[in-house]
Each structure stands twice: as C-alpha cells, then as structure tokens.
Amino acid sequence: MIKEFKEFISKGNVMDMAVGIIIGGAFTKIVTALVEAILMPFIGVICGGKSVADMSVTVGNAAIGYGAFIQAIIDFLLVALVLFMILKAFNKAKSVVVKEEEEAPAEPEPVPADIELLTEIRDLLKEKK
C-alpha cells in the first residue's frame, strides 16, 4: 500500500494539481484583498457611504447580512474572470504552437520493402503489356 501511495504521489498530474491548488489559494487572497480594500469602498460610497460587507436587513430579532454575500459573489466573479482570461490566453498560445507544428513540412513515411517490391513488379508487368 505504501508503494502504491508513493507511485500515486510521484505522478506528474498529482504534483501539478498540488501546485495549482497552492497558487489558487494565494491568488484568491490577492483577489479578496482587491475586492475588500479597493472595490468595496467605491461600491459603499455609491450605496450611501456604508460598507457593503456591513449591509444587512433586520427581520424580527434576526439580522440577515446580505452584504457579505454580495462581496463573496464579487470575489468569485473576479476570480472566474481572471481565470477565464488566463485560460483564453493559454489556449490561444497553444493553438499558435499547434498551427506552427502543422505547417512544418512532414517527412514522407518510408515505404515498406514489400510494398516497394510489389510496386516494381506492377511496373514491370505494365511494361510487358
């Protein structure tokens, strides 16, 4: 079982996934800081000088804090937008590389010896007719 676990961990996909998760976590912190420190104060000014995260509605004795939910949605949308743009750029770069590979002249595949021999026999038979 330990041997199988070592093989699983050492596979490239698992390592790539781990790096992606770590970078994603750090990236999320950056976007959250951007939203909380820069975007939300501007939205708060538009909404009457109140912090969006503090916006809430009181129903009976319960306070429903919808502002934090709005802030989380904006965080998500920004992360999704940036990831979309990164993937779009990656796919475009990848298609350029693939296109260059397709445009490169392909070497003709070598003809097997038996096919070459059969071709010669056919040509000789055509000449005799």
On whether the CB atoms of residues 56 and 66 are closer than 8 A, the answer is: yes
Q: Tell me the mean pLDDT in the region 19-41.
A: 83
Residue 14 sits at φ, ψ, to 5 deg, of -65, -40
Is residue 104 very low, low, confident or very high in pLDDT (cuts 50, 70, 90)?
low
Is residue 12 very low, low, confident or very high in pLDDT (cuts 50, 70, 90)?
low
Q: Tell me the mean pLDDT in the region 14-36.
A: 82
> 74: Cβ–Cβ under 8 A, 6 or more apart, which residues?
35, 39, 40
Mean pLDDT score of the chain, rounded to an integer?
A: 81
On whether the CB atoms of residues 6 and 19 are closer than 8 A, the answer is: no
Task: Specify the DSSP class assigned to residue 107.
Answer: P
Q: Tell me the mean pLDDT in the region 77-87.
A: 82
Helices (H), 37-112: 40-46, 66-103
Q: Is the pLDDT of residue 67 over 80?
A: yes
Instruction: Please tell me the distance from the alpha carbon of residue 128 to that of residue 122, in angstroms, as a whole number.
Output: 10
At residue 27, the pLDDT reads: 82
CATH of domain 2-128: 1.10.1200.120
